[in-house]
Structure 1
Amino acid sequence: MTTTDLTRERADLLQSLRRHRGFLLQTVDGLTDEQAATRTTVSELCLGGLVKHVAAMEERWMRFAVGGAEEMQREPVDWVGQFRMAPDETLAGLVERFHTVSSRTDDLIGTLDLDAAHPLPEAPWFEPGAAWTVRRVLLHLIAETSQHAGHADILREAIDGAKTMG
């Protein structure tokens, strides 16, 4: 789907999400699997893990946008493992999955009712009884992807001095 097929609002949301995805992918471009799995801080974060996490996060939130909290929570989340590269994972494989998830989201942005809302799942970080529209979910994806692209830039600079933005 091209942005010319979308309403202005949908095109703006999609363009912003794609831009921040691009920053994240630019940050990991040219890395070896070993570099992508390197932890450069005391946290669990590594560049491959960030790509993995952003894809998983986007997929979960789009399941929410389509089917609500029950659909979002149909699969358990490995809250620690999603930030690490497993020994059998490659950066190329994680980037491929990222593209698959991104493509599905892009298609959904063109078809979902942006005003449709679902109650949020129960969690300490959500207001009890709150609901989010599909539009709010997309804004959240943009914010999360942007934040993690910034994290990735810091991690990449610690590995080889490369900077994505500046």
Structure 2
Amino acid sequence: MGEREELVETLNKHRGLLRRTVRDLTDAQAAERATVSELSLGGLIKHVAAVEARWARFVTGGAEAMRGREGEHGPGDAEAWAAQFRMAEGDTLAGLLTEYERVAHETDELIRTLPDLGLAHELPVTPWFPPGTAWSARRVVLHLIAETSQHAGHADIIRESLDGAKTMG
């Protein structure tokens, strides 16, 4: 197995752990905040899909491409940023999972077909990235693996708080 397939396989492993946390839940359960944080299971699925899509756009178009579609917001808009962690009126868990699957498929294809995983772009200007720092496509994929894994852990805690189910233990 080559590097690209290893990256896709690892990312899919952590996506699967995250998806497992919402198995057999109703929309109401997926929207419920079970801890003091803003996080809900549906909101985490929504967030991870949006973040993955933004980073995929970065890989192909740089920091400017991360701004993305109308209605997508970055951390500079605090209320809109917080809202991406919650299920909005009309959101369903099934719909969020379908969108996550679509984004995942597109990212997997990008990883498999990008001419050079070493292709780098300068990161957006933010307080948390040192000015002038560039990330390669490979580094972005590693970041997506870490982000997905971290949120899968958050989701496991939330699920256990909801109904006692332990999805990763």
Bucket of the pairwise TM-score, normalised by the shorter protein? over 0.9
In the other structure, the counterpart of 2:81 is: 79
Please give the root-mean-square deviation of Cα atoms over the aligned residues, in Å. 0.9
Paired with 1:84 and 1:36, the residues of 2 have a C-alpha distance of 9
Question: TM-score, structure 2 length as denominator?
Answer: 0.92
User: 1:165, 1:106 → 2: CA distance?
Assistant: 24
Partners of 1:130 and 1:146 lie apart in 2 by: 24
What is the aligned partner in structure 2 of residue 120 from structure 1? Answer: 123
Which aligned runs of 4 or more in structure 1 are off by greater than 3 angstroms? none
1:82-121 equivalent positions in 2, closer than 5 A:
82-112=84-114, 113-121=116-124
> Which residue among 143, 148, 168 is the counterpart of 1:140?
143
Measured after TM superposition, the shift of residue 42 of structure 1 is 1.4
Indicate if the aligned counterparts of 2:54 and 2:68 stay in contact, CA closer than 8 A: no
Following superposition, the deviation at residue 134 of structure 1 comes to 0.1
Unaligned runs of 5+ in 1: 1-6
Matched to 2:97, the amino acid is: V
Report percent identity of matched pairs.
62
1:3 corresponding residue in structure 2: none
Which residue pairs with 2:63 in the alignment? 69
Deviation at 1:41, TM superposition (A): 1.3
Distance across 1 between alignment mates of 2:49 and 2:34: 21
Q: Deviations over 1:103-123 (max 9, x none)?
A: 000110111110000000000
